[in-house]
Amino acid sequence: MSPVTDEPLVRHIDDLESSEGFPGILQQIIHSERGILVKKFDMGAAFSTETHAHPEVQVMIVLDGEFHMEVAGKDVHLTAGTLLTIPGGTRHRAWSDGTPATGIDVIYLPASS
Protein backbone atom coordinates (compact mmCIF):
# COMPACT_ATOMS: atom_id res chain seq x y z
CA MET A 1 0.00 0.00 0.00
CA SER A 2 1.28 3.48 -0.83
CA PRO A 3 2.02 5.77 2.07
CA VAL A 4 -0.34 8.72 2.37
CA THR A 5 1.81 11.77 1.80
CA ASP A 6 1.71 15.21 0.29
CA GLU A 7 5.26 14.77 -0.96
CA PRO A 8 6.18 13.29 -4.37
CA LEU A 9 6.95 9.57 -4.20
CA VAL A 10 9.44 8.17 -6.70
CA ARG A 11 9.83 4.39 -7.02
CA HIS A 12 10.83 1.91 -9.70
CA ILE A 13 8.29 -0.69 -10.86
CA ASP A 14 10.88 -3.47 -10.35
CA ASP A 15 11.00 -2.59 -6.63
CA LEU A 16 7.29 -3.26 -6.07
CA GLU A 17 6.12 -6.56 -4.59
CA SER A 18 4.24 -8.96 -6.86
CA SER A 19 1.28 -11.08 -5.79
CA GLU A 20 -1.12 -13.37 -7.62
CA GLY A 21 -4.49 -11.60 -7.92
CA PHE A 22 -6.15 -14.44 -9.85
CA PRO A 23 -4.43 -17.70 -10.85
CA GLY A 24 -2.01 -16.91 -13.68
CA ILE A 25 -2.16 -13.14 -13.13
CA LEU A 26 0.60 -11.33 -11.24
CA GLN A 27 -0.12 -7.86 -9.96
CA GLN A 28 1.94 -5.05 -8.49
CA ILE A 29 0.19 -2.37 -6.44
CA ILE A 30 1.44 1.00 -7.67
CA HIS A 31 -0.81 3.21 -5.55
CA SER A 32 -3.62 2.63 -3.08
CA GLU A 33 -5.27 5.29 -0.96
CA ARG A 34 -8.49 7.26 -0.50
CA GLY A 35 -10.70 4.92 -2.53
CA ILE A 36 -8.41 4.47 -5.54
CA LEU A 37 -6.23 1.50 -6.50
CA VAL A 38 -3.68 1.57 -9.33
CA LYS A 39 -1.94 -1.68 -10.21
CA LYS A 40 0.14 -3.21 -12.97
CA PHE A 41 -0.96 -6.66 -14.16
CA ASP A 42 0.96 -9.38 -15.97
CA MET A 43 -1.31 -12.06 -17.38
CA GLY A 44 0.29 -15.33 -18.36
CA ALA A 45 -0.29 -17.10 -21.66
CA ALA A 46 -2.95 -19.33 -20.07
CA PHE A 47 -5.31 -17.75 -17.57
CA SER A 48 -9.00 -17.38 -16.94
CA THR A 49 -10.79 -15.49 -14.18
CA GLU A 50 -14.15 -16.29 -12.68
CA THR A 51 -17.04 -14.02 -13.59
CA HIS A 52 -17.28 -11.38 -10.91
CA ALA A 53 -18.50 -7.85 -10.20
CA HIS A 54 -17.53 -5.15 -7.72
CA PRO A 55 -18.99 -1.74 -6.89
CA GLU A 56 -15.90 0.10 -8.11
CA VAL A 57 -15.34 1.42 -11.64
CA GLN A 58 -12.43 -0.39 -13.33
CA VAL A 59 -10.36 1.20 -16.10
CA MET A 60 -7.92 -1.12 -17.90
CA ILE A 61 -5.09 0.05 -20.14
CA VAL A 62 -3.44 -2.74 -22.15
CA LEU A 63 0.27 -2.01 -22.66
CA ASP A 64 1.38 -5.21 -24.38
CA GLY A 65 -0.11 -8.48 -25.63
CA GLU A 66 -3.79 -9.34 -25.93
CA PHE A 67 -6.63 -11.10 -24.13
CA HIS A 68 -10.41 -11.32 -24.04
CA MET A 69 -12.94 -10.00 -21.57
CA GLU A 70 -16.59 -10.81 -21.27
CA VAL A 71 -18.26 -7.63 -20.05
CA ALA A 72 -22.01 -7.66 -19.41
CA GLY A 73 -22.29 -10.75 -21.63
CA LYS A 74 -20.30 -9.29 -24.57
CA ASP A 75 -16.91 -10.59 -25.76
CA VAL A 76 -14.34 -7.79 -25.99
CA HIS A 77 -10.92 -8.47 -27.59
CA LEU A 78 -8.26 -6.28 -25.95
CA THR A 79 -4.90 -5.55 -27.60
CA ALA A 80 -2.00 -3.22 -26.82
CA GLY A 81 -3.24 0.37 -26.70
CA THR A 82 -6.84 -0.57 -25.84
CA LEU A 83 -8.63 1.19 -22.98
CA LEU A 84 -11.64 -0.44 -21.34
CA THR A 85 -13.91 1.11 -18.70
CA ILE A 86 -16.10 -1.29 -16.74
CA PRO A 87 -18.87 0.46 -14.77
CA GLY A 88 -19.24 -0.53 -11.13
CA GLY A 89 -21.54 -3.52 -10.59
CA THR A 90 -20.96 -4.91 -14.11
CA ARG A 91 -20.27 -8.66 -14.31
CA HIS A 92 -17.03 -9.45 -16.14
CA ARG A 93 -14.27 -12.01 -16.60
CA ALA A 94 -10.98 -12.29 -18.52
CA TRP A 95 -9.17 -15.08 -20.36
CA SER A 96 -6.24 -15.65 -22.70
CA ASP A 97 -5.99 -17.52 -25.98
CA GLY A 98 -2.30 -18.24 -25.40
CA THR A 99 -0.78 -14.76 -25.51
CA PRO A 100 0.50 -13.04 -22.36
CA ALA A 101 -0.52 -9.44 -21.65
CA THR A 102 0.60 -6.53 -19.48
CA GLY A 103 -1.39 -3.50 -18.47
CA ILE A 104 -2.50 -1.04 -15.83
CA ASP A 105 -5.73 -1.23 -13.82
CA VAL A 106 -7.25 1.82 -12.13
CA ILE A 107 -10.06 0.90 -9.75
CA TYR A 108 -12.06 3.52 -7.90
CA LEU A 109 -15.40 4.15 -6.23
CA PRO A 110 -17.55 6.56 -8.25
CA ALA A 111 -18.33 9.90 -6.61
CA SER A 112 -21.69 9.82 -4.85
CA SER A 113 -24.40 11.99 -6.38
pTM of the model: 0.83
Report which of 12, 26, 30, 23 is spatially closest to residue 107, judged by C-alpha positions: 30
Higher-pLDDT residue of 3 and 16 is 16
Residue range 25-47, pLDDT digits in tens: 999 999 888 889 999 999 999 88
Spatial contact of 69 and 79, defined as CB atoms under 8 Å apart: no
Residue range 50-99, pLDDT digits in tens: 999 999 999 999 999 999 999 999 999 999 999 999 999 999 999 998 99
Over pLDDT 70: what percentage of the chain? 94
pLDDT on residue 112: 63
What is the homologous superfamily of the domain 25-108 according to CATH?
Jelly Rolls (2.60.120.10)
